[in-house]
Structure 1
Amino acid sequence: MDNGKRTVVVTGFGPFGEHAVNASWVAVQELELLGLGPDVQLHVQEVPVEYQAVNSLLPSLWEQYQPQLVVHVGVSGAATTVTLEMCGHNHGYKRLDNCRFCPDTQCCVEGGADCIDSVIDMETVCRRVNASGLDVAVTVSKDAGRYLCDYTYYLSLHLSGGCSAFVHVPPLEEPYSGEQLGHALRAVLLEMLEQLGQDQGTNHCKHRH
């Protein structure tokens, strides 16, 4: 922060299952090419679809970059829009990851709240992006799916005191190209940063619950 820039970390997931090319990482790479403007330092990271990798990687990202905002991007085969997830869930992780592993407890953070909401008002972000004339539809959701996406989101919200976001994208060309998804992510993130800037006086993103 010494240079006056805000720091943002954006992650996408690696391949899994039928997603040999993960649309989320393609979209994040497109976002990296576009950037978030001269006042934002953007760092991107590919995340393996593995619970234990997420457990070690997320705290290190917060420690290394001390970002104002972390946004995780994942692919959903059921999605046809860019979907802003409002909250992460702590329980119900029964699906095996790429290493054929899932937590014994089927839980993300033992003793943690059942659900953590993002401090970002996703409905406002959604409304403003949809009103901007973007050629990509944006919607909101309260269920990130109880797999690595939801798990990552909950852990990130837990680490950040709610100052994280999760965006689901559809598979490539169903119906959007990687380039379209990159532009949509950029519009979404700029709205999130605008909202956080307005709320800066409360400093709620520094709190750790």
Structure 2
Amino acid sequence: MGPARILIVDDEPQIRKFLRVALGAHSFEVIEAQNGREGVQTAALKEPDLVILDLGLPDMDGKDVIARLREWSSVPVLVLSVRDGEEEKVAALDAGANDYVVKPFGIPEFLARVRVLLRPVRRGGEESAEIVIGELKLDLARHGVALGTEPLRLTPKEFELLAYLMRNAGRILTHRQILTSVWGPANAEDVQYLRVFVGRLRQKLGDDPASPRYILNEPGVGYRFLRPEE
């Protein structure tokens, strides 16, 4: 398997150059597009493993680019944007983005996010019967969970929530995405209900919200299940 191919969609040449140098230094193959239309076309022709996308494009909003991509592709999308409002983040993630980083950003964090999003792609996309993250092991076939050598007792809905979070580890998930996937569309607005279940999971995992090992709160947006390198 060759180097991961990353498509940068940004209308600022200096940003593309900065990202190209940073990614190239870590042996990624980089391709570029300077507007939304070109980005969609390049994604279709070049089949990148990851798309890095600015929202403020000259011809179309980045959220529309995501929507176009999601019509036919599940390629991970990492948004880089100066827009730091919660509503903007939620809208981009609900449109289908996998992660959201606000400009300016640090290269170590950016590269960590890239590695996390590429991991399932480079693995080949096949889901194992077990998901292991750090000391936490989730057995999908037996509906079992263990933290180190200690089994955890979860309710069926707690297990379903944990499985959804772990399947999407490293990705910011909005409240609506989690509620819709785990409880169904009728419960898409029950944010307080979700907070109660997350609180129960944290308690059983021994996860301190102030210094989380597993479940990170993204204020006003949702949650991210952390991988060890994050």
State the TM-score bracket (shorter-chain normalisation).
Answer: 0.3 to 0.5
Q: TM-score, normalised by structure 2?
A: 0.38
Q: Which has the higher contact order (CA 8 A, sep 6+)?
A: 1
Q: TM-score, normalised by structure 1?
A: 0.41
More helix by share: 2
Question: Larger Cα Rg: Structure 1 or Structure 2?
Answer: 2
